[in-house]
Amino acid sequence: MLKYSIKRVILAFVTAFIILTLTFFLVKSLPSSKVIATDKNVIYAFYMNQVKLGYCTVIEHPAVEEWVPTVTPLDRVIIGRTEYFFYTTPIIKQYFSWIGNIVTKWDWGTSTKVEPGASAIFIIAQQLPPTVSVNVISVIVSVPLGIGLGILAGLKKNTWVDHLISTLVMVFISIPSFVVITFMIQWFSYQLQWLPPAWARPDETISKKILAYFIPVMSLSFGSVCGYTRFVRAELCEVMSSEYLLLARTKGLTKNQAIVRHALRNAFVPILPSILAEFIGVFGGSMILESLYDIPGIGRLYITALNAPDYNVLMVDMAIFTTVGLLAGIVTDLSYGFIDPRIRMGEKR
């Protein structure tokens, strides 16, 4: 088990490394985004920091003389009597500086437009709390609800309860999330005016802040509840028709005993890992929800950084989405092994 776990983790680490490398080269081969700031000292400080970190080189020249550089520089700043010409270093050099900076200083790059001069990690850290809080609440709400509905549907298989739940699940899983969010805002915020139509600003009252959670949590939960209901129902139906359950009943267990002790426990083998993965997933924001509801989370940051464009922040955001995805994958696979030692996900069959 230990060997298997280590192998999986190392593999995921290598995968993440390769993906991040690929992303780095793809992003850096785009035309570099200049830093936008009104104060030229900020710009100067930014580029000097870039030079220090190894992403830029600088040529100084007296500003009084007219001097046209042979190669167009990335940017130029005049401070006092000196004009500074900044050039980007070759991508491969930047790449090694980047890795070096991450390993030694945990410096993932500096923002150029979203918050000029601020560290990208810092910006991400600022945006995480809203995303995580909304996601955590939605997981807490949706998991029990989904499992409950799934069990209900599974136990009452082929009755009207099951048909109703299954139909609703089918409908809601098919409707895209942005449609759901749009109509929730239209209905609850504009029509009934119960809930605010956008995320609460920091200076607003606690009650407004709490109210602002309803629509995001509901819209995130819809898909999640439907997914769990369907999953649990399918698993439970499979277990209910198995032979060991028949044996359990034959040897004298009541129906409830058989369901709780045998059916549910076995049905939960594949369900628990997915719940764990869901908890890892709280670090990845929903871009659609966050941009529609104006939540200052990392999903909206992705769009902001993309449209700015601020590629350094975008890069870190992409890294987060990738890492969260991979991490969720590992947690699922490993927890399978812990729950049911016979299962080795991803191993050669």
Closest CA to 49 of 125, 4, 105: 105
Instruction: Give min distance, CB of 105 to other proteins, in A.
Output: 25
> What span, in angstroms and rounded, lies between the C-alpha atoms of 187 and 45?
49
Kindly tell me which of 83 and 317 has the beta carbon lying closer to other proteins: 317
Kindly tell me which of 113 and 230 has the beta carbon lying closer to other proteins: 230
CA distances from 78 to 29, 39, 65, 75 (A): 27, 12, 12, 10
Instruction: Give min distance, CB of 76 to other proteins, in A.
Output: 26
Q: By the criterion CB under 8 A, which residues form the site for other proteins?
A: 11, 15-16, 18-19, 22-23, 26-27, 29-30, 170-171, 173-176, 178-179, 182-183, 185-186, 190, 230-231, 234, 237-238, 240-241, 245-246, 249-250, 255, 287-288, 291-292, 302-303, 306-307, 309, 314, 318, 321-322, 325-326, 329, 349
Kindly tell me which of 82 and 186 has the beta carbon lying closer to other proteins: 186
Kindly tell me which of 87 and 231 has the beta carbon lying closer to other proteins: 231
Closest CA to 240 of 159, 157, 177, 315: 157
Instruction: Give min distance, CB of 52 to other proteins, in A.
Output: 28
Kindly tell me which of 39 and 204 has the beta carbon lying closer to other proteins: 204
Instruction: Give min distance, CB of 40 to other proteins, in A.
Output: 20
Kindly tell me which of 132 and 306 has the beta carbon lying closer to other proteins: 306
The DSSP symbol for 71 reads S
Instruction: Give min distance, CB of 29 to other proteins, in A.
Output: 8
Instruction: Give min distance, CB of 246 to other proteins, in A.
Output: 6
Closest CA to 282 of 126, 134, 120: 134
Closest CA to 146 of 63, 44, 42, 224: 224
User: b/e map of 283-317 (b: 16 or more CB within 10 Å)?
Assistant: bbbbbbbbbbbbbbbbbbbbebbeebbbbbbbbbb
Kindly tell me which of 56 and 320 has the beta carbon lying closer to other proteins: 320
Instruction: Give min distance, CB of 170 to other proteins, in A.
Output: 7
CB 16 within 8 A of CB 322: yes
Could you give the 3-state DSSP secondary structure of residue 67? coil
Q: Is residue 152 exposed (0-12), middle (13-18) or buried (19+ Cβ within 10 Å)?
A: middle
> What span, in angstroms and rounded, lies between the C-alpha atoms of 9 and 334?
9
